[in-house]
Amino acid sequence: MPAPSAEFQGAPGPSRTPGDGAGKTFVIETFGCAMNVHDSEKVSGTLVARGYRQVLSTEEADLILYNTCSIREKAAEKVFSYLGALKKATRNAPKIIGVLGCVAQQEGEAIFERAPQVSLVCGSASYTRLPELLDEMERGNRRVTGLDLDTDECFETELTRRDNPFRAYLTIIEGCDQRCAFCVVPTTRGPERSRASNLILDECRRLVGEGYREIQLLGQIVNAWEDPAPARLTFAELLGRLADVPGVRRVRFSTSHPRYFTPDIVEAIDSHPALCEQVHLPVQSGSTTVLARMLRGYTREQYLEKIDCIRRARRAISISTDIIVGFCGETPEDFEQTLSLLDAVEFDQVFAFKYSPRPKTAAGGMADSVPEAEKSERLATLLEHQRQIQWRRNQALAGQEFEVLVETFQPRHGQVVGRTSSNRIVNFPGTPDWIGQHMNVRVTSAGPNSLVGERIEAAGE
Ligand code: 5AD
């Protein structure tokens, strides 16, 4: 593939010189989204390069890190209950404890008041400063913070310790500028910062060299990516370039915002078999009135036009979405509109949540008018409605053939489990040595959430 016309240097990665972590152990517990999972992989890599050894339990660890999520109140509170339990468990064996990620950014130094056993509070926009913060901790400082949000840097590091042997996460854009009324992300992850196309392509080539065949591009709003490099690639062009990297078998990307979802993305998927036939396009509500109050920047009709564009593609692109029920002022009629949108689109997967008011958001100041019991009822209704749709759609796949990347083996059933390009889960009889291989599978039956099949031939690898 052609190399980018000019190279663009991003921020240098942290030094590889081991610090004072030599001989110490750490554990990192991750909550929330794929971006958090990948951030934890980068933080782990940084620690290992300083001489720390990763362990799996808090008992074994000298340093305990929680990489937190604050998207809904329940998620944010989780870390405090973990910290409470830890306090009892570590009474006789003091540990160094750090809170990273979105709760760290949101609560800041208040965490030291609520959980005095914590020594490090660091938001994701400050991870580039981690080596320096670790230095401070290793020197014995017990109130170390990285809370600056005003950054134009991405967390560039080659020191990532990836957890999944098949699918490598690759961040292309950090932060978010959207300011959807319900969402904390702009205040917890800072402003949008896109990585340069040449750095992204270099990382992709490096990952392929390490043996990864599936690359998952990450960004809070992945398709808001804008190339800061002189090549000035569009997002769709970047997808095409990545799919053309020799050795890349699959490229996925999440999460897309409908506002930036343009027809050239669909054209790219149609013309590059390595781009997965899967789009995650959160709609949040089927009611234009609610969408306006959410500050989403599109109407129900405009969303449905995007869906039409995807459905007109030559490939059968599967579509998933996120929905919030019980947002401020959502009437029963608004909710009916969301149900009717499910019928109109027929998503392959829906992630649905009860609205949870968040601090420092536009909706935080609005009346949280839908009672909790009503939110629960709407959520249950929606999930059941969607379950029927998925079941029907999956059953219609019986007899069809898919290429499946085998990811795990279930000894109890003598089955392997893998994913199609469209991100459908397929179970089929197999053996553990099939893990990591791509295989052709014919669907024999289906449930609402997964397919059952049989192998028809090896698709090669
Ligand atoms: N309450 C409930 N769900 C939320 N989400 C984001 N903010 C909130 C909130 N305050 C959901 C949205 C988003 C997904 C990651 O989480 O559906 O797409």
In the predicted structure, residue 359 carries a pLDDT above the cut 60: yes
Indicate the pairing of strand 63-68 with strand 25-30: parallel
* Per-residue confidence (pLDDT) for residue 19, from 0 to 100: 61
In the predicted structure, residue 72 carries a pLDDT above the cut 60: yes
* Ligand 1 site, residue 324, Cβ cutoff 6 A: yes
171, HSE (Cβ side, Cα atoms, 13 Å): 27
Mean pLDDT of the chain, nearest integer: 92
Q: Are 217 and 35 in contact, with CB atoms under 8 Å apart?
A: no
* Per-residue confidence (pLDDT) for residue 348, from 0 to 100: 97
In the predicted structure, residue 71 carries a pLDDT above the cut 50: yes
Write the DSSP symbol of residue 455: E
In the predicted structure, residue 165 carries a pLDDT above the cut 90: no
Of 156-165, 385-394, 441-450, the poorest mean pLDDT is in 156-165
pLDDT tens digit string along 313-333? 999 999 999 999 999 999 999
Pocket test for ligand 1, best of 33, 69, 72 (most atoms within 8 A of CB): 72
Q: Ligand 1: which residue has its CA nearest to atom 2? A: 355
In the predicted structure, residue 10 carries a pLDDT above the cut 70: no
Q: Calculate mean pLDDT across residues 193-200.
A: 97
CB neighbour burial string for 94-121, b if at least 16 within 10 angstroms, e if fewer: ebbbbbbbbbbbbbeeebbeebebbbbb
| Cα 236 to ligand 1 centroid, rounded to whole Å | 26
pLDDT tens digit string along 284-298? 999 999 999 999 999
In the predicted structure, residue 82 carries a pLDDT above the cut 60: yes
Of 159 and 411, which is predicted with more confidence? Answer: 411
* Ligand 1 site, residue 187, Cβ cutoff 6 A: no
* Per-residue confidence (pLDDT) for residue 458, from 0 to 100: 53
* Per-residue confidence (pLDDT) for residue 325, from 0 to 100: 98
Of 160 and 8, which is predicted with more confidence? Answer: 160
In the predicted structure, residue 250 carries a pLDDT above the cut 60: yes
In the predicted structure, residue 457 carries a pLDDT above the cut 80: no
